[in-house]
Amino acid sequence: MELLRPEATLLSLGDRVLSFDREGRLYHYFRQGMTYKRALDGSLHLRHREGVRRRRRLAPEEALGVYREALALAEAHLRDAVRRREVLRWTPEALLDPGPYQRAYAWPISILPPDAYLAVVLQATTGCTWNRCTFCSFYQDRPFQVREPEAFRDHIARVKALLGEGLSLRRGVFLADGNALALGEPLLPLLEAAGRAFLGEPILGFLDLFTGLKKEASWWERLRALGLRRVYLGLETGHAPLLALLRKPGHPREALALVGALKRAGLGVGVILMVGAGGKPFAEAHFRESLALLAELPLDREDIVYLSPFQENPGTPYAALGLEPLPDVEGELRAWAEAVRRLGLRASRYDIREFLY
């Protein structure tokens, strides 16, 4: 059975379901309990369960085999002439080719919040203004740089060319990289350019606590007038000693003033907390003080508390601390989610291992 949506073509064949964007590119293939997801750089990623959830990136030859299989199924079963042409103009080699992606993006897209996975990502900056957190390895491969307005407009054109008709699948615009909203006046022409290029789409972005506090309340009103709608705040913990251990400047309680200013400007807020950070030595205080802080933050039902299962990356300063990890992070996540919901707030899982762009 084929399902022709304005933004996608779906083909359901019993225990197999294939999804193609309107540019004709495969982006999702479910086959007998195995889920294949194609990223915009052409890479193919497998998700499945063997007791626990398994994830891996397929080698190029293996990915080509899956692409051949998917296109053969489309050729055999897709009947609509327009959608058939869209899909069958692609070859397995073209689906695998990273060249179009590399022409649009100077660096890989490292991470997005879960509700922004389908956003159009625009790299207003590359890297992170701080880039010294003990646990983070997202931006170690690149310097922090701000795009000049002309270069940013060229970047937007290249991103639009990459996505093509696949833009219809996208929702919102995310200003990357790690901390683009930390910019001052140089941010304004970039926001204006993004708003003109994607009229009516909400603009989203990450913000750090210590930079956000330096902005006047009126600053956030200006950004909202230019299309900003949601700000993601990497709070990580409400326990000050743990925040210091993670090498994030400031004090957790400073989030009260910043979140208040964001809400008064009419912005949505996503507060990110890392469940399991600090391991067993910090578990009790991390939980207790994070929940106490959440109870004071002026959040409402439009906001989201993201609970991210902590991932220790080998080679980071955090890993060198040798802190004993929690024995049951999944159980801890459930406890946190229940506690957040008892506060009347929305809780959402934020697993960095699931992200693909």
Which amino acid does the sequence have at 80?
A: D
**Residue 238: DSSP 8-state:** S
Report the distance separating Cα 278 and Cα 146, nearest Å: 33
Whole-number pLDDT of residue 143: 85
Whole-number pLDDT of residue 136: 82
Give which of 215, 175, 219 is closest to 195, Cα–Cα: 175
Whole-number pLDDT of residue 50: 81
Give which of 194, 196, 201 is closest to 171, Cα–Cα: 201
Tokens in use for 277?
């950070």
Which amino acid does the sequence have at 121?
A: V
Report the distance separating Cα 242 and Cα 240, nearest Å: 5
SS3 188: helix
Q: Where are the alpha helices (DSSP H) in the chain?
A: 60-77, 81-88, 92-96, 99-104, 149-163, 187-197, 209-212, 217-225, 240-245, 255-264, 279-296, 317-320, 329-342
- pLDDT by residue for the chain (357 residues), tens only, comes to 999 999 999 999 999 999 999 999 999 999 999 999 999 999 999 999 888 888 999 999 999 999 999 999 999 999 999 999 999 999 999 999 999 999 999 889 988 999 999 999 999 998 888 777 888 888 878 888 899 999 999 999 999 999 999 999 999 999 998 889 989 999 999 999 999 999 999 999 999 888 888 899 899 999 999 999 999 999 999 999 999 999 988 899 999 999 999 999 999 999 999 999 999 999 999 999 999 999 999 999 999 999 999 988 888 899 888 999 999 999 999 999 999 999 999 999 999 999 999
Residues 6+ apart with CB under 8 A from 61: none
Q: Kindly tell me the number of DSSP H helices and DSSP E strands found in the chain.
A: 13, 16
155 Cα distance to chain centroid: 19
Report the distance separating Cα 159 and Cα 122, nearest Å: 8
Alpha-carbon distances of 220 from 52, 181, 188, 266, 348, rounded to whole Å: 42, 10, 11, 9, 25
311 Cα distance to chain centroid: 16
Q: What interhelical angle do 60-77 and 81-88 show, nearest 10? A: 160
Whole-number pLDDT of residue 44: 98
For 72, counting Cβ atoms within 10 Å of its Cβ (0-12 exposed, 13-18 middle, 19+ buried), the class is: exposed
Which amino acid does the sequence have at 37?
A: K
What pTM was computed for the model?
A: 0.94
* Residue 41, preceding peptide bond in cis (omega within 30° of 0): no
